[in-house]
Amino acid sequence: MAQLSMVASLKKAGVWQKLVPRAEQGSGEEKLKAEQESGEKNCKARLHINDELSFVISDAKEALESAHLEMTEGAPVKHRRTLGSKFHLPSKDDRHFAPSATHCEEDLRSDCVVPGERREPAKIHSLRPVVDLIENNTYSIVVAETGSGKSTQVPQLLLDAAIDNSVGADCQVLCVQPRRIAAKSLAHRVAAERLEEVGESVGYILRDDSVRPTPGGNITFCTSGILLMMLRHGLSVLGKYSHIILDEVHVRDAPLDLLMMLIKIRIEQLQSIGLRVPKITIMSATVDVNLFSSYFSNKAPDGTLAPAPHITVPGRTFHVKRHYLEEVLEEITYNLTPGALSGLIQEPSTKRFLDVHFKAFGEPEEENATREQILPPVSSLDGQTVPWGLISAAVLSVLSSTQTGSVLVFVPGLHDILTVEKHITNFSPELGLNFDDDSRFRLVKLHAQLPKEQLELDRKMPHGCRRVIIATDIAETSLTIQDVRYVIDSGKVNQAGFEALTATESIAPCWISQNAAFQRAGRAGRVQAGEYYFLGLQKRFDSLPTSRATQIRRKDLQPFCLQVKRSTPGIPGTISELLGRLVEPPERSEVDVAVAALKDLKALEENEEVTDLGHILDDLNVHPTYAKLAVLGIIFQCLDPMVIFAALGGHMNFFVRPLNSDMAAKIKKSRMAFAPEAANIHYEYIQAFRAVREVEHKQGSWQAAQFAHNRWINYGQFKNVLRETERIMERLSRIRIPAGMDLGTELNVQTASGRLGNASMNTNSDHLPLIKALVTHCLSHHLAVKFPGRASFKSKHKLIPVKLTKEARKTFSSRQILCIFNYLWSVPNQPTVMKEAVNVRPLTAALFGNGLERTAEGELILNDWATLNPETEMNNDKTLEDVVQLHKIFNEALETVYTTMKRPLSDKSQGALSKLCNQLVQAMTAVIETDAPRPRHQAPAKWDDEGVFVDNLEDMDWEDSSVGPSIHSDMDGEDR
């Protein structure tokens, strides 16, 4: 009853206030359900085609048919040609594995580098059994507790053992980390221990940042994604390395799971032809030994299989004292001033968390309360609330009551980092803690979007200076911060989810696993005794799951389905069967949805073979939907905006995240200034990116950062997108798309804007209707239709509430609106909303959609579900038939272009291909332009295609407050 007494005393002091009961959410859900049942049959969009447009459609169809026929004359009946496999299966004589031509697979062999004097080794260094276990088995598992030095010492153990046996030059150790921050940090640490610089016997390979080791015996650190890219080039990759260490496998992110499956398949292939295979080591402090030992089996000489053996190495951590919420509340009540205590504990998220948490996990008020009443599911409401005030109070309490040692704080995401930082700096003066004096205190923020902050970890601190390091789960593993003595753990992590059928993404804070908690606690005891504060009751801690569910069950599977099919040539089975070979396979239904989407994109044949386009999309290494935009940018001569859009990847957190409604209004105004007449959020982001890029190209990074800051643009995100555009262009050039054509990757010196591609590749880069049509083509499976007279849209599988401006409500009540959205977004206790939605003209949706059929009743069915009700002035039958045929020939022509883009062609065929591409552009733009509405005098900045004032759907005021809140801000992704 101790914690209830504490609650009572806080209430008596006026600090604790009861949470106001939440409003019932059922009314909104019932309303939406009723709307769906009553309006489903009437969810039709009007398609009006006048005489002029009918003639243009007919002419476009005939011209495109003629150009397509000329291109395909003499070609095989089947237009699509699957490219030959790039994979090379070595013969038994190919013992040295000829290296791949790609830059990821340079030869690393020559004389070894003998290490000199070292720092004091960690405990694992002296364990010879670790080396014996690894060298005597194809697969082995090393369970090394926190502080054992596994990540730094095991690679060195293997290299040094090889040197001692005079085979050092043949030892190449590849150590795979789940996160780039850990890979780079470990490379520097291991090099320092060997008294070397990075680039001698130790290196690392990351996207955009690589320092490779010298040839010979060496150690290379990389991420899971890098090794996945290497494995695309065949079996020779595995022949380059003598040892591959998969570190921190408990993270279980999707790339790591896929990597383990592909390595297992490749090892089986090499063993089947009698070739040498690298030693594979699975390593973690908290690994499920039974799961992985049964998955990775070693083949005995007689052909029998035995589970992979494992060894457990004790850690060298110091004692870490644990504190739970009961003690935390007592300490902060004693250590904080009344003003700080009241301000932080009464902070709304903290009040909400404490009330719900104690109701769920406090001592039962009735003796006969059941355990189920005390311990609700881990996904309960208290897991969705991050108590910023409580976290900040715990930090300030530690700093006030101790004299030495830095504090590591774990929170779910970037917004939480910034909020906790604000609370700490606001209340620290009241406690005599001066964070303006950087000789005493320093705040460090660790997040994937704040790479410069990582440099603070390596800087030498003034004597007596204490750091407060606020981090997400990126600091959970493989990072040792020497001066950390205290860990404040919110117990939360941002967990993303994905519902494939409805294309709904979600993210929410949730409770961590016990394994993750042990990892976090271990950060406090790496070099000295420490203390760990878990901001939850001990009963909550005891009810946490042992480990976290694999990420691949919570991700969009399209990229993985395409990658696994392309990476397993000659391996029988469907994609679903191949993914069934994962450690923990995803649901079959999720795989089927992803495969169907890839077929719609024309990345897969009906028999699931990878098409020519599929090879191109996979090579670009972005989500297939957005990779296709880059390819269409080449064909339709609007390369620059399409590559920018592909680099954004559908998640356009390009502007600063608003913290309040006033800030949101300023950001919205800035956004609209980049495309005042576009009525297209996609184009706003493209133009904003172009503006910052031009300043950076002309005036430099400092001026560009200032320009971005003054316009609420996230400059760090701009740099990320800029690097991604450069990567996409480099890949397009490397895979020669299209064959023999110069993309003009040099910056355009005439405009000095940094535009991507030469002038001919950007003829239509400012043609907004065309850009919108191409986006519609790639996102056609994200089509939604507005219900008549209701505040909701309908996608193929989901009813979605819509937010409208006051000016639009009256007009929309009688209008049918089609729109395309990037994705659906769901957060706890709020309705699902469309993100980055733009309205689309019905004819554009019909011509650029995935499928179009005509019914006996004279209606058009789009994408197998959406109904278009045509209204024509001429012969209705002929006009509708022309629309259907133009849609058909448009898609056939595109498939022909995809097939021939990479193929060496004769001069005649090259001319026919150019003519077909030009006709595609001319025919479709003619139809789009004729269908476009005539400009209106003094039109508001956001007139839509029907003359309706409609702002970006995700930013509008809610028409009905019972449906949802007025502002939805983006949240952080997981594993940051």
Work out the average pLDDT over 850-878. 86
- Classify 916 as helix, strand or coil: helix
- List pLDDT tens digits, range 302-354: 878 899 999 988 766 688 999 999 999 999 999 999 999 999 999 999 999 99
Phi, psi at 763, each rounded to 5°:
-55, -40
Cα within 13 Å of Cα(328), Cβ side? 27
| Strand order from edge to edge, sheet including 44-49 | 44-49, 866-872, 860-862, 852-854
Q: In the numeric block, which tokens belong to residue 242?
A: 């003598």
Q: How many whole angstroms separate alpha carbon 255 and alpha carbon 560? A: 8
Backbone angles phi and psi of 671, in degrees to 5: -60, -45
Whether the CB-CB separation of 846 and 965 falls below 8 Å is answered with no
pLDDT interval class at 679 (50, 70, 90): low
By DSSP bridging, strand 799-801 and strand 792-794 are antiparallel
What does each C-alpha distance from 28 to 43, 946, 957 come to in angstroms?
Answer: 20, 29, 16
For residue 25, CA distances in Å to 17, 35, 954, 974 come to 23, 16, 20, 27
Dump pLDDT digits (tens) for 365-397.
444 433 333 333 444 455 678 999 999 999 999
Q: What is the pLDDT of residue 28?
A: 45
Residue 653, pLDDT above cutoff 60: yes
The token pair that represents 796 in the structure block: 């193929």
Convert the pLDDT of each residue in 196-252 to its tens digit.
999 999 999 998 789 999 999 999 999 998 998 888 777 788 889 999 999 989 888
pLDDT of residue 117: 44
Instruction: Report whether pLDDT(969) > 50.
Output: no
| Orientation angle between helical segments 325-335 and 388-401, nearest 10 degrees | 60
The rounded Cα 314 to chain-centroid distance in angstroms is 35
Region 666-679: mean pLDDT is: 74
pLDDT per residue as tens digits for the range 914-940:
889 999 999 999 999 999 875 443 333
Name the most confidently modeled range: 39-48, 489-498, 664-673. 489-498
pLDDT at 811: 42
Q: Whole-number mean pLDDT of the chain? A: 79
pTM of the model: 0.75
Residue located via tokens 């191409």: 774
What does DSSP say about strands 530-534 and 484-489: parallel, antiparallel, or unpaired? parallel
Q: What is the dihedral of CA 834, 837, 840, 842, to 10 degrees?
A: -10
Rounded-to-integer distance, Cα 776 and Cα 780, Å: 5
pLDDT at 558 over 70: yes
Domains of the chain from N-terminus onward: 28-34+42-63+775-899+907-955 (no CATH), 103-313 (3.40.50.300), 319-552 (3.40.50.300)
Please name the helix (run of DSSP H) or strand (run of DSSP E) that holds residue 211, with its range, or none.
strand 209-211
Which range (533-537, 569-573, 862-866) has the least confidence? 569-573
What are the DSSP E strand ranges found in 701-830? 783-786, 792-794, 799-801, 818-820, 823-826
* Mean per-residue pLDDT, 50-79: 81
Q: State the burial class of residue 904 (Cβ atoms within 10 Å of its Cβ: 0-12, 13-18, 19+).
A: exposed
Cβ 947 vs Cβ 937: under 8 Å:
no
pLDDT-based confidence at residue 685 (cuts at 50, 70, 90): confident
What Rg do the C-alpha atoms of the chain give, in angstroms? 30
